[in-house]
């Protein structure tokens, strides 16, 4: 590092949640961080590299935070990173449409005394709210450079980077803002004490954190010199006597007063005539009564649209692909023709048609800002499962893919709530399951049956969520969430985001589909399918009433759930499933696929978030539950 490091710079992007950090990151690095219009998408810091005017620049996208108190893991990680790892410069991304709240965080960054620059982002949104900002004035009040940007259009970002590099060269550091006289006096005294001890954080910042009663900093300083901690406590007590409030509240209020003064001094607001887009939409989507039918409508329209569009696309692809399959046949040709090509054709004809519209709609939903509204509406329902409304966001994301949804459960504050939320999320039928439900039940039994399975699924999730709550009891944390304004989804970003997701999907799923198909055909040619199938037949045939081959399919489905259907098509050499399964079998099969075992990638995500033990419990439970439900469904369906 040191030799190459001469020209290499590190730049950290920091700021409140949902201000556009990841948009800036993606623009600069060409990478693909998750973007959407709800707070808390980036949960882990991401790194990327770019080359700019002869410099190698490492860029870091940090999770969004509102403060540098150690309230959440993200806050602790961010402050440690900025204060101790010391990036060459911090780019503070600020939402111009909520200046005061954003500056509250900027003031805290200034206290860390690193070189920094402010990107005044979302100026277009601010304009829409009738806010115009006087940049030179703001720059003067903050004492650090400010550059207006519109990240989604790339406006101002090159200039931002250019300025940032220049600041690094000039080695200018930010200077913290001053508080009121009494507080400043106390800070000065404590700073004097802190300056005498070796500590990696800036002394003034440590003094402020000590006065605020920050547990972590108190621990560190107390370990070096406990007298400083007790002296600070006395000062804090003095302040509390004067103000009649806790010292942390006094300092927070004071900081907000400064933020308020700066923002009032540098912005002019002419409230737009008539209600804004957000107000108009909120009148319906978070209406105390209408909000609920809207939520149900959104979910069902999504499913219906996916089914309709998917069905048409599927038929179209099949017609196009069918002649290709016929070209191979017999002997060694079978392995290639049936395995390789069959898998590929099935992947294109069965899987893509449903995945594509699904991803598109989910991306639009995510970008519009509807998800936080859904969380708001669903809060009281989620409380019945011992978690709060924010969990509804990963829940909806789970319909796309369970993996990011599991990781997204980190927006829940406690371990208990993360566990329940992640468990609930793994029960959500992802896009791959949708392929099976729509491609099989929807197409051959009827769309109302497919939709009923989704309804049943919602009911089961609710019941199992309540069971999980009973297993892990506790007072649910209350909901505290920012509601971002609605945004008209930007056509190009939506298409790009959908394409990126689709590409990820194709890169991961298609090799597996093809390899799986070849292995399966190999098993068939080798005569091994029979033995495997009959080994599992007590469960598959006896209990579930499925053909023996289902056992093999379910094993493949652990890799990816859509493989169950793709493999079936490969084996049968046709995508006309009516010839191999009865309607009852289709429904039972879809139910088992819906609930049994999270796929391998999801299990990995669970292990990462919750540890081995909980991941194993969830997996085993879901297998048992799927078999139970499938068996019951089989018996009920044969009754009627």
Partner 1 sequence: MITESTEEYLEAIYNLRERGDAATTTSVARELKVAPASVTQMLKKLAKRGYLKYTPYRGVTLTPKGEKTGKKILRKHRVMEKFLSNLGLPKSRLHRNACELEHHIPDDLERAIYQRVEGERPLPPGVPSNVVPLTSVLDGQKCVVSFIGGGWGASQRLADLGLTPRTEIKVVKSALFRGPLMVSVRGTTLAIGRGVAAKVFVKAE
- Restricted to residues 156-185, the positions that interact with partner 1 (CB under 8 A) are none
| C-alpha distances out from residue 86 to 74, 78, 113, 169, Å | 17, 11, 10, 15
Residues 6 or more apart from 148 whose CB is under 8 A from it?
96, 120, 123, 133, 135, 156
Residue closest to 94 by CA, chosen among 141, 52, 46, 53: 141
Report what 286 binds from partner 1, Mg ion, ligand GTP, none; CB cut-off 5-8 Å by kind. Answer: partner 1
526: which 2 tokens?
A: 């080798």
Q: Is 121 in the site for ligand GTP (CB under 6 A)?
A: yes
In this structure, are strands 8-15 and 89-95 parallel, antiparallel, or unpaired? parallel
User: Can you tell me the distance from the alpha carbon of 588 to that of 590, in angstroms, rounded to the nearest whole number?
Assistant: 5
Q: Rounded to the nearest 5 degrees, what angle is found at the Cα of 567, between the Cα atoms of 565 and 573?
A: 100
Report what 152 binds from Mg ion, partner 1, ligand GTP, none; CB cut-off 5-8 Å by kind. Answer: ligand GTP
List the one residue from 40, 64, 156, 291 that touches partner 1 (CB under 8 A).
291
| Binding residues vs Mg ion (CB under 5 A) | 21-22, 41-42
Nearer to partner 1, 104 or 438 (CB): 104
Q: Is 20 in the site for ligand GTP (CB under 6 A)?
A: yes
Report what 372 binds from partner 1, ligand GTP, Mg ion, none; CB cut-off 5-8 Å by kind. Answer: partner 1
User: Can you tell me the distance from the alpha carbon of 534 to that of 494, in angstroms, rounded to the nearest whole number?
Assistant: 47
- Restricted to residues 297-356, the positions that interact with partner 1 (CB under 8 A) are none
Q: Is 37 in the site for ligand GTP (CB under 6 A)?
A: yes
- Residues that bind ligand GTP (rule: CB under 6 A) add up to a total of 26
Least separation, in Å, of the C-beta of 144 and partner 1? 21
User: Can you tell me the distance from the alpha carbon of 242 to that of 239, in angstroms, rounded to the nearest whole number?
Assistant: 5
Interface characters, 428-467, with ligand GTP (x: CB under 6 A): ----------------------------------------
Residue pointed to by tokens 């893919």: 401
Q: Is 90 helix (H, G, I), strand (E, B) or coil?
A: strand
- Restricted to residues 200-239, the positions that interact with partner 1 (CB under 8 A) are 233, 237
In this structure, are strands 116-121 and 146-148 parallel, antiparallel, or unpaired? parallel
Cβ neighbours around 415 below 10 Å, total? 13
Least separation, in Å, of the C-beta of 619 and partner 1? 31
288: which 2 tokens?
A: 């105390």
Q: Is 560 in the site for partner 1 (CB under 8 A)?
A: no
Least separation, in Å, of the C-beta of 41 and Mg ion? 5
Nearer to partner 1, 340 or 477 (CB): 477
Q: Is 49 helix (H, G, I), strand (E, B) or coil?
A: strand
Report what 49 binds from partner 1, Mg ion, ligand GTP, none; CB cut-off 5-8 Å by kind. Answer: none
Least separation, in Å, of the C-beta of 610 and partner 1? 22
User: Can you tell me the distance from the alpha carbon of 253 to that of 104, in angstroms, rounded to the nearest whole number?
Assistant: 10
Nearer to ligand GTP, 172 or 413 (CB): 413
Q: Is 125 in the site for ligand GTP (CB under 6 A)?
A: yes
List the one residue from 23, 432, 567, 568 that touches ligand GTP (CB under 6 A).
23
Least separation, in Å, of the C-beta of 190 and partner 1? 17
Residue closest to 61 by CA, chosen among 98, 19, 97: 19
3-state secondary structure 268-327: EECCCCCCCHHHHHHHHHCCCCCHHHHHHHHHHHHHHHHHHHHHHHHHHHHHHHHHHHHC
Q: Is 486 in the site for partner 1 (CB under 8 A)?
A: no
Cβ neighbours around 631 below 10 Å, total? 18
Q: Is 35 in the site for ligand GTP (CB under 6 A)?
A: yes
Residue pointed to by tokens 């989620």: 382
Q: Which stretch binds ligand GTP (CB under 6 A): 34-42, 209-217, 329-337, 505-513?
A: 34-42
Least separation, in Å, of the C-beta of 372 and partner 1? 7
Report what 156 binds from ligand GTP, partner 1, Mg ion, none; CB cut-off 5-8 Å by kind. Answer: none
Q: Find out whether 11 and 87 touch, Cβ atoms under 8 Å.
A: yes
- Which residues form the interface with ligand GTP (CB under 6 A)? 17-23, 35-37, 39-42, 63-64, 121-122, 124-125, 150-152, 367, 487, 493
- Which residues form the interface with partner 1 (CB under 8 A)? 66-67, 69, 71, 97-101, 104, 233, 237, 240, 243-246, 248-249, 252-253, 256, 260, 286-289, 291-292, 372, 375-377, 379-381, 383, 388-389, 476-483, 485
């Amino acid at each position: 590092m040191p030799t190459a490091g001469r020209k290499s710079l590190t730049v950290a992007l920091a700021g409140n949640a949902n201000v556009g950090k990841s948009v800036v990151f993606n623009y600069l690095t060409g990478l693909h961080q998750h973007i959407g219009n709800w707070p808390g998408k980036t949960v882990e810091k991401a790194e990327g590299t770019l080359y700019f005017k002869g410099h190698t620049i490492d860029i870091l996208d940090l999770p969004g935070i509102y403060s540098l108190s150690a309230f959440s893991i993200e806050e602790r990680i961010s402050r440690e990173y900025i204060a101790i790892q010391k990036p060459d410069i911090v780019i503070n991304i600020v939402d111009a449409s909520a200046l005061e709240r954003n500056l509250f965080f900027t003031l805290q960054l200034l206290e860390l005394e690193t070189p920094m620059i402010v990107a005044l982002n979302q100026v277009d949104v601010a304009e829409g709210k009738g806010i115009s900002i006087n940049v030179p004035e703001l720059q003067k009040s903050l004492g650090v450079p400010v550059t207006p940007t519109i990240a989604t259009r790339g406006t101002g970002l090159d200039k931002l980077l250019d300025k940032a590099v220049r600041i690094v060269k000039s080695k200018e550091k930010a200077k913290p803002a001053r508080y009121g006289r009494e507080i400043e006096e106390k800070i000065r005294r404590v700073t004097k004490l802190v300056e005498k001890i070796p500590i990696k954080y800036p002394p003034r910042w440590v003094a402020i954190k000590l006065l605020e009663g920050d547990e972590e900093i108190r621990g560190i300083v107390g370990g070096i010199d406990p007298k400083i901690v007790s002296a600070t406590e006395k000062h804090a007590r003095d302040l509390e006597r004067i103000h009649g409030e806790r010292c942390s509240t006094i300092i927070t209020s004071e900081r907000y007063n400064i933020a308020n003064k700066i923002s009032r001094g540098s912005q002019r607001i002419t409230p737009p005539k008539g209600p804004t887009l957000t107000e108009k939409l909120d009148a319906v989507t978070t209406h105390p009564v209408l909000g609920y039918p809207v939520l149900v409508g959104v979910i069902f329209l999504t499913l219906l649209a996916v089914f309709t569009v998917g069905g048409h696309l599927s038929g179209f692809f099949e017609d196009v692909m069918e002649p290709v399959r016929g070209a191979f046949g017999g002997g060694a040709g079978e392995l290639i023709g049936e395995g390789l090509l069959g898998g590929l054709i099935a992947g294109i004809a069965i899987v893509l048609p449903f995945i594509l519209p699904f991803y598109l709609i989910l991306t639009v939903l995510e970008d519009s800002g509807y998800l936080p509204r859904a969380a708001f509406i669903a809060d009281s329902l989620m409380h019945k499962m011992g978690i709060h409304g924010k969990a509804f966001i990963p829940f909806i994301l789970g319909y796309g893919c369970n993996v990011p949804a599991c990781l997204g459960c980190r927006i829940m504050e406690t371990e208990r709530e993360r566990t329940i939320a992640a468990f609930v999320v793994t029960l959500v039928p992802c896009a791959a399951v949708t392929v099976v439900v729509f491609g099989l039940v929807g197409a051959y039994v009827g769309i109302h049956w497919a939709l009923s399975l989704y309804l049943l699924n919602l009911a089961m999730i609710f019941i199992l969520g309540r069971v999980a709550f009973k297993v892990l009891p506790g007072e649910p944390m209350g909901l505290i969430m920012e509601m971002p304004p609605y945004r008209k989804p930007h056509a190009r970003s939506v298409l790009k985001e959908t394409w990126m997701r689709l590409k990820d999907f194709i890169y991961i799923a298609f090799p597996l589909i093809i390899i799986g198909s070849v292995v399966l055909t190999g098993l068939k040619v080798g005569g091994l399918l029979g033995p495997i199938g009959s080994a599992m037949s007590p469960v598959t045939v006896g209990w579930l009433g499925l053909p023996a081959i289902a056992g093999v399919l379910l094993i493949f489905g652990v890799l990816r759930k859509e493989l169950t259907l793709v493999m079936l098509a490969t084996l049968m050499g046709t995508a006309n499933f009516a010839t191999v399964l009865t309607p009852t079998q289709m429904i039972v099969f879809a139910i088992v696929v819906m609930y049994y075992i999270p796929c391998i990638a999801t299990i990995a995500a669970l292990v990462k978030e919750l540890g081995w033990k909980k991941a194993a419990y969830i997996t085993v439970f879901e297998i048992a539950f799927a078999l139970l439900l499938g068996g019951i469904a089989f018996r009920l369906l044969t009754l009627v």
